[in-house]
Structure 1
Amino acid sequence: MNDILTRIKAYDDIIIHRHKNPDPDALGSQLGLREILRTNFPEKKVSAVGFDEPSLAFLGKMDKVSDQTFEGKLVIVVDTANTPRIDDDRYQTGDFLIKIDHHPNDDAYGDLLLVDTTASSASEIIANLALENSLQLSSESARLLYAGIVGDTGRFLYPATTPKTLYTAARLAEYDFDRAGLLREMDSFDMKIAQLQGYVYENLEISPEGVARIFITQERMKAYNISDSETSAIVSAPGKIREIQTWAIFVEQADGHFRVRMRSKQAPINQIAKQHAGGGHPLASGANSYSAAENDTIFQQLRDNLLDFQK
């Protein structure tokens, strides 16, 4: 943390990236860090870049940055495990690169790394970077970081929630922002998402061991007028069913391959994801499948993995 702060103080221009298809933690950590740096170093130019995700517009917007702006600048990438997932390839053209993340450090990119796999979220790491180094937090930075922690812990439901996570969230909650309003916004979705969720519940394939899968095709997304990023809203839905222990949501992409969102209540699944062009946390991972046969292979691996875990 001290080395990161030294680098931050050494640069007048800082550009912050996060991963593609952002979730609340990606945006919370990215925009929360932007707000912290703007608050504590008003003389510096601090920007956040990437795609503006419409469903998360309530968290904030990205900045417009020209290609020339990256020359000689400090670049920070948050909440992104590997380089192919970084939103905006211009991160490579900066002067110095810092990685701040909580995923397994399989791709140790960057000139300086702060990776804490015991943290619930990148937002928790950013919050403690500020809190433990006497950096001033604003109500807005607290709101953003709180949203990131809530998002990646599933409202403090997931096993990654530690006493430190709760303590950090409590300290953020001391700031003046509408927590109830924020949580309502994060928990709300449009009717089309509700309809897709109904489709998921009606069409889940559940194995005897408690592994479930569902396919969301391009045709289905068009029928509900739903984008690929919006399908993330139903990822946790199968886990609410008591009988389901592990599940995978196969989302067909425009080129025909499937993006696979994998979740588990107890049995680690990230090693399976790594075998299929993916990775992630032990209980929350993503992968890619390029054929019907590979779809079936992933499903069978999840079944075998759960059986081994239950022995």
Structure 2
Amino acid sequence: MTFNSILEKIKTYDTIIIHRHQRPDPDAIGSQIGLREIIRTNFPEKNVLATGINEPTLSWIAEMDQVADSDYENALVIVTDTANTPRIDDERYTKGNFLIKIDHHPNEDAYGDIVHVDTTASSASEIITDFALTVGLQLSDFAASVLYNGIVGDTGRFLYPATTSKTMQIAAKLREYDFDFSAMARRMDSFPMKIAKLQGYVFDHLVVDENGAARVVLTQKVMSDFEVTEAETSAIVGTPGKIDSVESWAIFVEQSDGTYRVRLRSKTAIINGIAKRHDGGGHPLASGANSYSLEENEQIYQEIKELLAK
């Protein structure tokens, strides 16, 4: 079993460095920090580090460690919640002695010496918890809190289709630990006034066709006017879906170089094929892509419209 192979590698190495994807979300940080804390709890003699850029909007969950180049010498590297190598935060992941991938996205980039991908899992945090429980490792209260946070984040508070009975069982197990899950839920469900105003902009400027295909464009000027960063715009990715007539949608976020990061979401129609055609990928109902012109923005929207028209 892959879990046993992963455990054996963890036992073998004195230094373990854990990576996750760029522009992290709660599941990326939850799975990364959760695994770090599990290993530290069960193997206190090991040097276990989490690397990547600190995302200010998620610093309340956890912060990264300082990792030197020398730490990678004869180290085990584990990457969580990252589908492909271009998205791995911190390019030094190749400098270790052995590489493990743990993920729940479609395994189209099977990097690593050991690959554990479970697309039936709601989140990477669910997989990490499952790993610990299966192989008999202890969890600390802090590990349980960040893993629970990751599951809640990637399931949309247990509302998304990826939520299974196993997800609920694992979440219930994590709730047995001592952490303030109510405070965590309030923190995840709250946002600053500028995000509330940006949500108003999205509702005012959302274009929706007769089949429920929707789009909105967030230009550099719009983000500047609302004083939000690109990372902060992730808070409104689910906003169009709250409208009952919206079925699938694209949020085009302009980058400083004039290209667009495209966030694709859908209630039922599978949209990751569209993402793949536009330099992206992801889950069937939640994907990301890249657009390099206004014309490509229009093309992506037309593909969503055609998908729903069928």
Give the TM bin, normalised by the shorter chain: over 0.9
Residue 212 of structure 1 corresponds to 214
Dislocated runs of 4+, deviation >3 Å: none
Q: Following the alignment from structure 2 to structure 1, what is the Cα–Cα distance between the partners of residues 47 and 226?
A: 41
Q: Which residue of 1 aligns with 2:268?
A: 266
Distance 2:309 2:136 in 1: 48
Which residue of structure 2 aligns with residue 297 of structure 1? 299
Matched, 1:48 2:50: yes
Mapped pair 1:65 → 2:67: yes
Aligned pair count?
A: 308
SS of residue paired to 1:132: helix
Of residues 67, 85, 101 in structure 2, which corresponds to 1:83?
Answer: 85
Which amino acid is the alignment partner of residue 181 of structure 1?
A
Stretches of structure 1 that go unaligned for 5 or more consecutive residues are none
CA distance in 1, matches of 2:36, 2:161: 28
Partner in structure 2 of residue 165 of structure 1: 167
**In 2: Cα distance, 1:247 partner to 1:263 partner:** 6
Secondary structure, aligned partner of 1:59:
coil
Matches within 5 A, 1:130-279: 130-279=132-281
Cα offset for 1:71? 1.5
Match of 1:10? 12
**1:133 Cα shift?**
1.2
User: In structure 2, how many angstroms separate the alpha carbons of the residues matched to 1:132 and 1:303?
Assistant: 44
| Amino acid in the other structure paired with 2:126 | E
- Alpha-carbon distance in 2 for matches of 1:154, 1:161: 9
Shift of 1:286: 0.2
Q: Secondary structure at the match of 1:113?
A: strand
CA distance in 1, matches of 2:59, 2:295: 38
Tell me the C-alpha RMSD between the 2 structures. Answer: 0.5
Amino acid at match of 1:61: E
Amino acid at match of 2:62: G
Deviation track 1:215-252 (CA, whole Å, cap 9, x = no partner) reads 00111111111111100000001101000000010000
CA distance in 2, matches of 1:41, 1:101: 23
TM-score w.r.t. length of structure 2:
0.99
The sequence identity of aligned pairs, in percent, is: 63
Distance, in Å, in 2 between the alignment partners of 1:218 and 1:71 is: 41
- Could you say what secondary structure the match of 2:60 adopts? helix
From 25, 28, 31, the equivalent of 2:30 is 28
TM-score (norm 1): 0.98
* Alpha-carbon distance, 1:94 to partner: 0.7
CA apart distance, 1:157: 0.5
CA distance in 2, matches of 1:242, 1:160: 20
Distance apart, 1:107 and its partner CA:
0.4
Deviations 1:153-179 (A, max 9, x none): 000000000000000000000111000
Deviations 1:189-224 (Å, cap 9, x if unpaired)? 111111111100111000111011000011111111
